[in-house]
Amino acid sequence: MGNHVLVIEDEPNIVEAIRFILMRDGWDVSTLSDGDRAEDTIRSCRPDVVILDVMLPGRSGLEILAALRADAATRSLPVLMLTAKGQGRDRAEAERIGASRFMSKPFSNTEILASVRALAGV
């Protein structure tokens, strides 16, 4: 398992904070702010872990997750879904589709780092 994390999130300041936390821990971090280019980006840059927000401009996180799980090449790709507290239906749907882990906003830096490490088997 490598150390490449792709963060797909449209909130720039969250992206910046996650990028800082992960880079400080030695991870190579790419970012993307819309859902429409997510699949192509994942296929081209082949991340080891994806952090995926549910609510994105363009395709939603749930649609992207479903597409990833329908493709043999990305079926087992670890995906950490970011949902908002109170959005229980989104979380249930992500679980049904096959999300590897969930994290509710607002999350702590420690939680997100621990989740990425766990998904990458570090």
Partner 1 sequence: MPVSALTGGRVRERRLALGQRQADVARAAGISASYLNLIEHNRRRIGPGVLARLADVLGTEAAALAQGAEGILATDLRDAAAGAAGARPELERIEDFIGRFPGWAELLAGQHRRLGHLERSVEALSDRMAHDPHLSAALHEVLSVVSAVRSTAAILAETEEIDPSWRARFHANLHADAERLATGAEALVAYLDVSGEEQEPGIAAPQEELEAWLAGHNWTLAALEPGASPEARAALLAEAGGLASGAARQLARDWLAEAAKDAAAVPMTGLVDAAARVGLDPVLLAQRFGADVIAVFRRLALMPGTKLGVVICDASGTMIFRKPVEGFALPRFGAACPLWPLYTALGRPMTPVQAEVEMSGRSPQRFRTLAFCRPRLTGGFAGPQLAEAAMLILPLPPGTTGTLGVGTSCRICPRPACPARREPSILSESQTGA
Q: Could you list the residues that contact partner 1 (CB under 8 A)?
A: 11, 13-14, 16-18, 20-21, 24, 55, 84-87, 89, 105-109, 112
Closest distance of CB 106 from partner 1, Å? 4
In the complex with partner 1, the residue whose CB is nearer, 69 or 101, is 101
CB of 69 to partner 1, least distance (A): 23
Nearer CB in complex with partner 1: 14/77: 14
The DSSP result for the chain, as a single string, is ---EEEEE-S-HHHHHHHHHHHHHTT-EEEEE--STTHHHHHHHH--SEEEEESS-SSS-HHHHHHHHHHSTTTTT--EEEEEETT-HHHHHHHHHHT-SEEEEES--HHHHHHHHHHHHT-
